[in-house]
Amino acid sequence: MIWSAMYERLASALSSLTSKADFAERRSHYRVPCRRSVNMINQAKAVGGHMINLSPNGMKVRSADRLPRGREMRIVVSGNKAANARFVASIDLICRVVWSKYSSVHQAYDSGLAYLPAPGVDLQYVEAFFRHELGIDDLETFQRRTSRRVSIELDVTCFTPDGRVSLGAIRDLSEQGAQFEGALNVEAGSEVRMRIDLEGREEHSLYCVGTVARCKPTRRDGWYELGVSFTEMGDPAMLKRLISREMKSRKES
């Protein structure tokens, strides 16, 4: 399977950098130790936790709540945060919960997740993300390979299901999601509808729906920084053109 082949390449690359003693052999697949924060979105509820390891077919995560066995969930993996920058990136995956059990040692629930192919998941981006996060590629190589996330200043209007409307500003944008700031405090896992204003460009507005992966206060009183993963996009071609133009303009400048 394509998922298996991708993570086999990662495990092979890591084995050249790390001794086999650092891997746990299970079910004929290496499990690569990797600790990263994750949000596991189950319908409207988001469960926070962290990844324990990766394998070619899935990952092991640890959380305070038990994950329902057999449930399909969206997993948002946070990127490594540099000292002078926001999260480098984040990645969305769709997984099925294979097992979940309580660990008395850690006083938390350990769960095994299996990757599921999903529409809109860019496997090259996923592989590049994990290569960077596991220390195989540096940030410059990661950004060159993915060419997806651009720093950009755009006005955005957000609408929540409970009727709240908030103005804000997009700080960076990718085909998978966006980071923006605004006077909107919502829980992770919440749905927001967004109208991104493109005044001064050939298009006028870009409409999309997303799931909030994180929300934290900024230094500006009453404002929050939100990371949103897109679930619906009114005009995907428009978004791609916008990102391509921004990337091209940066190369030319």
Cα-trace Rg, the chain: 19
Q: Are residues 154 and 136 located together in one domain of the fold?
A: no
Torsion of CA 15, 16, 21, 26, to 10 degrees: 10
Q: Are residues 138 and 24 located together in one domain of the fold?
A: yes
Q: Are residues 41 and 16 located together in one domain of the fold?
A: yes
Give the model's pLDDT for residue 28: 46
Q: Are residues 122 and 161 located together in one domain of the fold?
A: no
Quick: pLDDT tens for 194-227: 999 886 555 578 999 988 888 888 888 889 989 8
Give the model's pLDDT for residue 101: 92
Q: Are residues 53 and 30 located together in one domain of the fold?
A: yes
Question: Helix (H, G, I), strand (E, B), or coil: what is residue 66?
Answer: coil
Q: Are residues 154 and 82 located together in one domain of the fold?
A: no
Torsion of CA 40, 156, 150, 4, to 10 degrees: 20
Q: Averaged over 81-95, what is the pLDDT? A: 59
Q: Are residues 120 and 15 located together in one domain of the fold?
A: yes
Q: What is the CATH number of the domain that holds 241?
A: 2.40.10.220
Q: Averaged over 143-156, what is the pLDDT? A: 70
Domain-ending residue, one of 94, 119, 146 = 146
Between helices 123-133 and 2-15, what is the axis angle to 10°?
20
Residue 249 has pLDDT above 90, yes or no: no
Q: Are residues 6 and 126 located together in one domain of the fold?
A: yes
CA distance 193 to 158: 6
**Boundaries of domain holding 220:** 150-252
Statement: the pTM of the whole predicted model exceeds 0.75 = no
For the beta carbon of residue 43, count every other beta carbon within 10 angstroms. Answer: 9
CA distance 209 to 233: 6
* Higher local confidence (pLDDT), 71 or 151: 71
Domain-ending residue, one of 126, 146, 166 = 146
Q: Are residues 69 and 162 located together in one domain of the fold?
A: no
Domain-ending residue, one of 146, 171, 188 = 146
Q: Are residues 14 and 56 located together in one domain of the fold?
A: yes
CA distance 61 to 67: 10
Domains of the chain: total: 2
Indicate the pLDDT class of residue 111, thresholds 50, 70 and 90: very high
